[in-house]
Amino acid sequence: MSTFVLIHGAFHGGWCWDRVKPLLEDKGHTVIAPDLPSHGDDPASPEDVTLDDYVSRVGSVLQSTSEPAVLVGHSLGGVTITQAGENYAERISKLVYLTAAIPGNGQCRLDVREGAEGSSLEEFRILSEDGKTMTVQEDGVKPAFYADCDDATVAWVIERLSPQGTIIPKTPVSTTPERWGRLPRAYIQCTDDKAIPLKNQEYFCKNHPCDPVIKMSTSHSPFMSEPEALADHLHALR
């Protein structure tokens, strides 16, 4: 079977894959879901963390695996796996973007917002006074990320969310056709996503064609709302 490395997005940690990880393991896969710096149990300060720090953490995981891995990125994690795909192409068998951003060479997350008008994240995001971190107001977590999850799940998530450094979405990636561009890539669209609207997801797939493109009728976080279906899709993409 395959090795999967699951990369979380903004505000989250490796914990967000807790429902998917055992399902993939039951199918015979090796699964690693690391905390990126300043998230989960990692003690780094979010205001100081860079995209290079994120990518180095992913690279350390990829270099520890016994085979090239399927690298999955959710949401802002799409930026992370894009740069990791360039830096560690030999250690990756496929990139999977789960309702995730795909910036082109020289672009940052803030540059690729076509179709993102009306994103619920804009309504519920709170910027720190110094502008170095952002959080999500508690009553916005469900409508922004977990609209199709029960209240107990949302409460569990809220206890684990962490501030997001603002350096990351402002940092452009540097990619080439010979490295990131040669990697097979797939995209899983979440059709009811309010944080990254479907039109924004379609924009990514238009500019950076993915094969296959899979649609899930979920909000932003199918790893919580539909973990079995998500695990089945990932298993099929191995």
Name the token pair of 185.
């890539």
pLDDT at residue 121 tops 90: no
pLDDT at residue 9 tops 90: yes
Please state, in angstroms and rounded to a whole number, the distance separating the CA atoms of residues 201 and 137.
Answer: 24
- Tell how strand 3-7 and strand 69-74 pair up: parallel
Number of neighbouring beta carbons within 10 Å of residue 167 = 19
Please state, in angstroms and rounded to a whole number, the distance separating the CA atoms of residues 4 and 24.
Answer: 9
The count of C-alpha atoms lying within 13 angstroms of the C-alpha of 33, restricted to the half-sphere facing its C-beta, is 22
Give the pLDDT confidence score for residue 118 in this predicted structure.
83
pLDDT class of 116 with cuts at 50, 70, 90:
confident
| Cα-based angle 32, 35, 37 (whole degrees, multiple of 5) | 140
Q: Which residue has the higher pLDDT, 117 or 222?
A: 222
Structure confidence by residue, pLDDT tens digits, 15-66: 999 999 999 999 999 999 999 999 999 999 999 999 999 999 999 999 999 9
DSSP state of 67: S
Give the pLDDT confidence score for residue 39 in this predicted structure.
98
Give the list of residues 6+ apart from residue 32 with CB closer than 8 angstroms, or none: 3, 4, 5, 6, 61, 65, 69
Biggest CA-to-CA distance, the chain: 48
Number of structural domains the chain divides into: 1
Structure confidence by residue, pLDDT tens digits, 136-161: 999 999 999 999 999 999 999 999 99
Structure confidence by residue, pLDDT tens digits, 183-197: 999 999 999 999 999
Q: Which CATH number covers residue 131?
A: 3.40.50.1820
Give the pLDDT confidence score for residue 120 in this predicted structure.
85
Please state, in angstroms and rounded to a whole number, the distance separating the CA atoms of residues 93 and 137.
Answer: 37
What is the arithmetic mean of pLDDT over 89-96?
98
| Cα-based angle 73, 49, 71 (whole degrees, multiple of 5) | 15
Name the token pair of 194.
């309010």
Burial 70-88, CB ≥16 within 10 A → b, else e: bbbbbbbbbbbbbbbbbbb
Give the list of residues 6+ apart from residue 151 with CB closer than 8 angstroms, or none: 142
What is the arithmetic mean of pLDDT over 128-142?
97
| Cα-based angle 69, 20, 125 (whole degrees, multiple of 5) | 95
The secondary structure element, H or E, covering residue 213 is strand 213-216
Domain extent at residue 175 = 3-237
Region of 89 on the Ramachandran plot (φ > 0 left; ψ -120 to 50 alpha; else beta): alpha
CA dist list (Å): 188 to 44, 64, 124, 222, 228: 30, 26, 24, 10, 14
Give the pLDDT confidence score for residue 117 in this predicted structure.
86
